Amino acid sequence: MSMKSKFVATLSAVALLGAAAAFPAAADEAKAPANGHKYPSIEKTSADAPRQYKMTPEFQAQVKKLPPEFIQQFRKMTAKHTRYSEDATARQVMMELLSDVQCVTAGLMVENGEMAADCAVRASRHRWPKGHLLAYVKLEQINADSLAALPKINGAVEGGLERVAEMALNKNFPGAGAEMGKVLEGCSNCHNLFRFGKGDSPHIID
């Protein structure tokens, strides 16, 4: 078992045992709320499977050109993302990411390891935007050469956030803070390569 899955398995085991042993009544209530609503949870705010959207022929052609080995590697790298939004754009998902990352830094600064770890794990497992992240990348960048930068960036950002969570739970706040620096470096590296258009105003002409 990898460090990551061990960590997640530990988290869910603690959550289950904690709920069943200490708060049986609360756990039952959560399952069947009086007003009949099913409350969402972190795991259940998006669809479990990607919805198929009709994409432009140009986009489809570009994706079709990706080598199968690349697609396999990409799938493996992103397998932990199991929530698929049918509404949120990449920018909106990025805003969630930003918000969660800010929560991590706040938690670390006040030495609240649990807060930092919760937010770090959520950031690391962010939902997919509508139509997948690739739908928001420039067409000419959808090729194995340009996308080859992703595994390293992914390791720094998503892998880094998992390391931050572990260190935060172990109360290693200086270590988690230093790791956070590498996470932020990964965010900006990816933006440098793949983020274009900063919302310039069409009304300013000079």
Residues that bind ligand HEC (CB under 6 A): 90-91, 94-95, 97-98, 101, 136-137, 153, 157, 183, 186-187, 190-191, 194-195, 198-199
Report in angstroms how near the CB of residue 109 gets to ligand HEC at its nearest: 17
Report in angstroms how near the CB of residue 1 gets to ligand HEC at its nearest: 26
* Whether 168 contacts 116, CB under 8 Å: yes
Comparing CB distances to ligand HEC, the nearer of 65 and 91 is: 91
- Give residues with Cβ within 8 angstroms of 93, minimum separation 6: 85, 126, 127, 128, 129
Half-sphere exposure of 70 (CA within 13 A, CB side): 14
Task: Please give the structure tokens belonging to residue 111.
Answer: 């030495």
Comparing CB distances to ligand HEC, the nearer of 90 and 176 is: 90
15 φ/ψ angles, rounded to the nearest 5 degrees: -60, -45
Amino acid (one-letter) located at 6? K
Comparing CB distances to ligand HEC, the nearer of 28 and 58 is: 58
Would the CA dihedral through 18, 24, 28, 34 be positive or negative? negative
Comparing CB distances to ligand HEC, the nearer of 108 and 187 is: 187
Report in angstroms how near the CB of residue 82 gets to ligand HEC at its nearest: 18
Q: What is the 3-state secondary structure (H, E, C) of 100-114?
A: HHHHHHHHHHCCCHH
Which three-class secondary structure state does DSSP give residue 82? coil
- What b/e string do you get for 163-186 counting C-beta neighbours within 10 Å, with b at 16 or more? bbbbbbbeebbeebbebbeebeeb
Comparing CB distances to ligand HEC, the nearer of 101 and 116 is: 101
Comparing CB distances to ligand HEC, the nearer of 3 and 95 is: 95
Report in angstroms how near the CB of residue 105 gets to ligand HEC at its nearest: 11
Report in angstroms how near the CB of residue 21 gets to ligand HEC at its nearest: 35
Q: At 206, which helix (H) or strand (E)?
A: none
Report in angstroms how near the CB of residue 124 gets to ligand HEC at its nearest: 9
